[in-house]
């Protein structure tokens, strides 16, 4: 390509020198002939294709001809010649080859692991997988995970918004408990109720009890059992957030008041006032209860216990810097290269969800 351009330039220079040595009358006659041939070609050819050498030659000669006569001499528009000249200048001052390389590409081991997690857990989105990768110590952007899944033909799950009560919950999170009832319809259409308790500070979740017909007395006993399970941690709790369900009786409030815990009753028909607990119930439905048939009360208690053990000890949480609730007081692990380790999957509830850890 370069030799061809040099050859064309030399040929044009020799022809240009020959023109300069001719007599004026012969040059004028030749110019008239060339103009006429140019006019004939314009009538017959709709589009002329130029090589890079042709463009270079015409752009150089255009500097010697007044711009008002370009339409008479050249078989193209003046804007085309100016564009060729600008392109010639831009190539002369192009320093693209000197730029430093950007961010290194994602390793093949990471890509395979992301696709493996998405395949093993179809309900996981790109942000959920990104949090799971941080647990063994590999920090990767959520957008990178999204790109890997999109390239592999896996549709990333949509991002969901979080709670809206931020100011009060952020300041008082470590001292707030939230409770609410969650109903579950068993396989034989029998409705069961589970009393869910969540600690705002650590996001640790507990099942205070499961019953097919919870009464006020049953709820009071569940509150006593919960405080006994908390032990010394109950001293750090200052508020209990609940709705105005009739099963939360005065005796229920008295149990917590005896432990110096103040009751905060949310407004009627305002689930967003207890947003964190409501979101937790939604998580239980999406990740557990919508994917399994509940047989009876004992079955519901067992699967809730197993899943919440996984939730409290292994599931990463965005509010806790991608740590599990039981790891809320710890520092994030040091980053490692996953290509040098083998990642082992541990199925939870017969593969309903998964935990990933470095194989020892």
| pLDDT higher than 60, residue 126 | yes
| pLDDT higher than 80, residue 208 | yes
Residue 147 domain-assigned (yes or no): yes
User: What single-letter DSSP state applies at residue 323?
Assistant: B
Q: Are residues 219 and 299 in the same domain?
A: yes
Q: Are residues 50 and 186 in the same domain?
A: no
How much is the pLDDT for 229?
Answer: 87
| pLDDT higher than 50, residue 16 | yes
Task: Provide the domain count of the chain.
Answer: 3
- Give me the mean pLDDT over the 332-357 stretch: 82
Q: Are residues 184 and 285 in the same domain?
A: yes
* pLDDT tens-digit readout, 328-344: 667 677 777 777 888 88
Residue 332 domain-assigned (yes or no): no
Q: 68, 76 in Cβ contact below 8 A?
A: no
| pLDDT higher than 60, residue 162 | no
How much is the pLDDT for 144?
Answer: 87
Residue 174 domain-assigned (yes or no): yes
**Position with higher pLDDT, 54 vs 1:** 54
* pLDDT tens-digit readout, 297-309: 999 999 999 999 9
| pLDDT higher than 70, residue 164 | no
Alpha-helical runs (H) found in the chain = 2-21, 24-44, 52-61, 70-73, 78-92, 108-120, 126-134, 142-151, 167-172, 216-230, 250-257, 275-287, 297-313
Kindly report which listed range (158-167, 295-304, 306-315) carries the lowest average pLDDT score: 158-167
Domain carrying residue 130: 108-155+338-358
Which pTM does this prediction carry?
Answer: 0.54
Kindly report which listed range (38-52, 144-158, 235-249) carries the lowest average pLDDT score: 38-52
Q: Are residues 200 and 306 in the same domain?
A: yes
Kindly report which listed range (160-169, 201-210, 268-277, 331-340) carries the lowest average pLDDT score: 160-169
User: Domain of 218: which CATH number?
Assistant: 3.30.420.10
How much is the pLDDT for 24?
Answer: 63
Question: CB-hemisphere CA count at 13 Å for 245?
Answer: 18
Residue 100 domain-assigned (yes or no): no
Residue 12 domain-assigned (yes or no): yes
User: Domain of 133: which CATH number?
Assistant: 1.10.10
| pLDDT higher than 80, residue 25 | no
Rounded to whole angstroms, how far apart are CA atoms 252 and 256?
7
Kindly report which listed range (29-33, 152-156, 214-218, 219-223) carries the lowest average pLDDT score: 29-33
Q: Which two tokens stand for residue 150?
A: 């999109």
* pLDDT tens-digit readout, 187-199: 888 999 999 999 8
3-class DSSP state for residue 83? helix
Kindly report which listed range (53-67, 131-145, 218-232) carries the lowest average pLDDT score: 53-67
| pLDDT higher than 90, residue 13 | no
Which residues have C-beta within 8 Å of that of residue 210, sequence separation ≥ 6? 192, 193, 194, 195, 297, 300, 301, 304
**Position with higher pLDDT, 214 vs 236:** 214
């Amino acid at each position: 390509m370069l030799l061809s351009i040099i050859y064309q330039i030399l040929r044009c220079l020799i022809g240009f020198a020959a023109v300069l040595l001719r007599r004026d009358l012969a040059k004028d006659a030749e110019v008239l002939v060339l103009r006429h041939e140019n006019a004939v070609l314009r009538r017959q050819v709709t589009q002329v294709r130029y090589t890079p050498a042709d463009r270079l030659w015409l752009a150089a000669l255009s500097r010697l001809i007044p711009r008002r006569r370009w339409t008479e001499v050249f078989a193209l528009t003046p804007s085309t010649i100016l564009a060729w000249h600008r392109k010639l200048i831009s190539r002369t001052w192009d320093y693209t080859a000197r730029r430093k390389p950007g961010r290194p590409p994602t390793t093949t081991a990471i890509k395979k692991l992301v696709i493996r997690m998405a395949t093993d857990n179809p309900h996981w989105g790109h942000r959920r997988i990104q949090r799971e990768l941080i647990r063994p110590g590999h920090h990767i952007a959520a957008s990178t995970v999204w790109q890997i899944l999109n390239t592999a033909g896996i549709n990333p799950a949509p991002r969901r918004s979080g709670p809206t009560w931020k100011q009060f919950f952020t300041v008082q999170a470590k001292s707030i408990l939230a409770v609410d009832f969650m109903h579950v319809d068993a396989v034989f259409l029998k409705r069961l109720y589970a009393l869910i308790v969540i600690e705002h500070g650590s996001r640790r979740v507990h099942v205070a009890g499961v019953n097919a017909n919870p009464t006020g007395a049953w709820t009071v006993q569940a509150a006593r059992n919960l405080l006994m399970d908390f032990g010394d941690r109950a001293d750090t709790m200052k508020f209990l957030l609940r709705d105005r369900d009739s099963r939360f009786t005065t005796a229920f409030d008295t149990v917590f008041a005896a432990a110096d815990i103040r009751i905060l009753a949310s407004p009627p028909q305002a689930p967003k006032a207890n947003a964190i607990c409501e979101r937790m119930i939604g998580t239980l439905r999406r990740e557990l209860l919508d994917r399994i048939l509940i047989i009876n009360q004992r079955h519901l208690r067992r699967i809730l216990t197993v899943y919440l053990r996984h939730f409290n000890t292994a599931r990463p949480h965005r509010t806790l810097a991608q740590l599990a609730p039981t790891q809320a007081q710890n520092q994030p692990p040091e980053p490692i290269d996953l290509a040098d380790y083998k990642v082992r999957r541990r199925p939870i509830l017969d593969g309903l969800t998964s935990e990933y850890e470095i194989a020892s």
